[in-house]
Amino acid sequence: MVRFQRQPPGTALTRASLVAGAALAVAASWLLVDGRTRPAGLTAMAAGALLLAGGHRANHGLGGPLDRMLTELFDRTWDGAILGALAWSWFGRGAPHVAAGALVALCASFLSSYVRARGAALGYSVEESHVTRGIRYALVSGSLIAGAVAWGVWLTAAVGVLATIVRTGQVAREERFS
């Protein structure tokens, strides 16, 4: 007889929010490649809101370990889909400065996530901030809606680089005192 482990309460809503957010991020990337910047920004904003809600639920007792892993996975999905589509489509439009900003933001986000995960694997307490995710989602989505994409991606890149520096400092401090 197979026994299933009981899921924490609210798990279904947490997972539905995360999956819907990831699906909307993919839809927003399609809109970006199709050249519909403003609808892409609105869709990316909705995706970010759902991912933030699902991530908050997962990290505050309304989801299990799988939900926390899905939060990280779908955050990377948002970054890859939105920032990757921005880099590709804006380079094709003859705006390599926007494409470069999107690529720097994408790399900084992935590097920051790696530093956090590596520090956690070593047993260090490296904080994951919903605020950083929210700022990243808002900057990119808002800039798409407002039509100021270059500013948005470069500000997002700066936030990502700063998050990487802060997390690397946290890991270095933990290593020094352990």
Judge whether 4 lies within some domain: no
Give the integer Cα–Cα distance in Å for 20 and 168: 32
Residue 161 lies in a domain: yes
Domain count, the chain: 1
The sign of the torsion formed by the CA atoms of 20, 72, 81, 140 equals positive
pLDDT tens over the chain, length 178 residues: 556 566 666 688 889 999 999 999 999 999 999 999 999 999 999 999 999 999 888 888 777 778 888 888 999 999 999 999 999 999 988 889 999 999 999 999 999 989 988 888 888 877 767 888 999 999 999 999 999 999 999 999 999 999 999 989 888 887 777 6
**Residue 134 CA neighbour count, 13 Å, CB half:** 10
Please indicate, yes or no, if residue 171 is contained in any of the structural domains.
yes
